[in-house]
């Protein structure tokens, strides 16, 4: 009888303890490569280490809330064969990748058990003519920095040669957050 009472008492105590579960959100990151096999460059997420740093930063951001979940980076993939979606707008890329994911998920390394992130361009502006992607690059990570603009030919993904006359081109640049 005492054994049964001890078992019941242990069961009640165990159920009253706070249960903590660690839920992992798997993250799969894909870089859509340009026609020459290059990743988007000139931003905060250029390299595999940049991706790992961003996932770590996200985990540090949510840790204080104690919600019991974390992001777990499962893979970083360079995705070739889809350069048509390199440096395109988010809506175009998203709608096309959704169709591909529904019809042939393996072709774009879609993971049904993960959050799938596709990186096809970094923040920048497209010239009014639609020929160039212009990326602002800061001189440092401090306030009052200077900026330079990298001009990239959208059709090739290559930086514009120094001899190219860009005086007839117009770009509308934007920025958000931070100290400029």
Q: Residues 152-169: what's their mean pLDDT?
A: 87
Q: 4 falls in which pLDDT band (50, 70, 90)?
A: low
Task: Please give the Cα distance from 86 to 32 (Å, whole number).
Answer: 6
% of the chain residues with pLDDT over 70: 72
β-bridge partners, 14: none
Can you give the pTM of this predicted structure? 0.60
pLDDT in tens, 60-95: 888 888 778 899 999 999 999 998 887 676 777 888
Average pLDDT of the residues of the chain: 78
Q: Residues 149-167: what's their mean pLDDT?
A: 86
Contacts of 16 (CB under 8 A, 6+ apart): none
**Secondary structure E strands in the chain:** 23-32, 69-79, 115-119, 125-126, 132-138, 147-153
Task: Please give the Cα distance from 173 to 180 (Å, whole number).
Answer: 13
What pLDDT does 166 receive?
92
Buried b vs exposed e over 95-134: b needs ≥16 C-beta within 10 Å?
Answer: eebeeebeeeeeebbbbeebebebbbbbebbbbeeeebbb
Task: Please give the Cα distance from 180 to 120 (Å, whole number).
Answer: 25
**Residue 37: pLDDT over 90:** no
pLDDT in tens, 79-138: 999 988 876 767 778 888 899 999 999 999 999 999 999 988 656 677 888 888 887 766
Query: Taking the C-alpha atoms of 118, 123, 124 and 130 in order, what is their torsion angle to the nearest 10 degrees?
Result: 30
């Amino acid at each position: 009888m005492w054994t049964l009472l001890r078992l019941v008492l242990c069961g009640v105590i165990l159920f009253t303890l706070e249960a903590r579960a660690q839920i992992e959100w798997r993250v799969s990151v894909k870089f859509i490569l340009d026609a020459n096999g290059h990743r988007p460059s000139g931003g905060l997420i250029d390299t595999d280490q940049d991706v790992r740093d961003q996932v770590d930063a996200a985990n540090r951001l949510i840790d204080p809330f104690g919600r019991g979940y974390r992001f777990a980076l499962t893979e970083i993939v360079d995705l070739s064969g889809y350069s048509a979606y390199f440096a395109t707008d988010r809506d175009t890329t998203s709608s096309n990748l959704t169709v591909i994911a529904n019809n042939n998920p393996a072709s774009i390394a879609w993971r049904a058990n993960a959050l799938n992130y596709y990186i096809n361009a970094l923040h920048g502006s497209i010239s009014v003519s639609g020929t160039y992607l212009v990326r602002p690059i800061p001189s440092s990570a401090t306030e009052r920095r200077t900026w330079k603009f990298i001009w990239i030919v959208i059709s090739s993904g290559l930086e514009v040669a120094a001899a190219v006359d860009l005086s007839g081109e117009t770009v509308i640049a934007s920025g958000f957050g931070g100290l400029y």
